[in-house]
Amino acid sequence: MSTYSLEHKEFLKKRKRNRLLVMTCQILIIVIFLIFWEFASRCGMINTFLSSSPTKVFQTFLSLAKQNQLWSHVGITVYETLLSFILASVIGFLIATILWWNKTIAKIIDPYLTVLNSLPKVALGPLIIIWVGANMNSIIFMALMISTFITIINIYQGFISTDHYLITLLRSFNAKKYQIFLKLIVPSNKNNLINCLKVNISMSLIGVIMGELLVSKKGLGYLIMYGSQVFNINLVITSVVLLGIVSYFMYEIIIFIEKKADRN
């Protein structure tokens, strides 16, 4: 026998229909765009030398797969992005914790965080290569430069925005600072931390691609740069499409983590 009321069943059906509608619309947008793109390229409405076409993109995709280059390039970009994402998330959380713990340090560091976060990281590319070397370390360092500061700022702002009345209440019960942090600050900022992960994964991917554009012999950023140098627009657009697919799956991983966190 079902334990759900009729109203609750109707609510679940409505929510399911809404999810199906959203997913259908999302797929239709992509399908319509691809059909129009292919139609425009075949009818000569657009120059395929400059904009390629879905057919040519698919052919380039198959060519990369047959040459055993597809997964090596995708794999190195995913590896660099995940490594940068994990490092930036951990470093950002730890530094934000230190800033929350010590208000004096926070006041000293705050203007520097703002300045460092606003610096154009691409302009620092040549310096990063000189300091770290023309290798994967430069790519990881570039990604950390882009993602770490914004992660620190977002997490710290969430920490200091926690309800001060609740903090005062815990202090009235003689709660230690670490107890306030573990029992109130972190749980209260669960949604903020998840949102920071969403921002961080995209910033890490942007940083990795920027690093690969500067110094790399593998990866999607390298394919984009190489394709533009030899005027192979099909390769460039295929790499961009693959980049979008990688970004989507990484975002879905964060959504999965968010759903798991909501259940706990």
**In the chain, what are the domain boundaries?**
6-46, 54-263
Q: What is the pLDDT of residue 4?
A: 62
Class of the domain covering 54-263: mainly alpha
Whether the predicted model's global pTM rises above the 0.75 cut: yes
The one-letter amino acid code at 225 reads M
Is the separation of the CB atoms in 142 and 214 below 8 Å? Answer: yes
What tokens does 167 get?
């903090």
Q: What is the pLDDT of residue 105?
A: 92
What tokens does 97 get?
């914790």
With 0-12 CB in 10 A as exposed, 13-18 as middle and 19+ as buried, what is 55? middle
d(CA 204, CA 202): 5
The one-letter amino acid code at 246 reads V
List the chain residues with pLDDT less than 70.
1-4, 264
Q: What is the pLDDT of residue 3?
A: 59
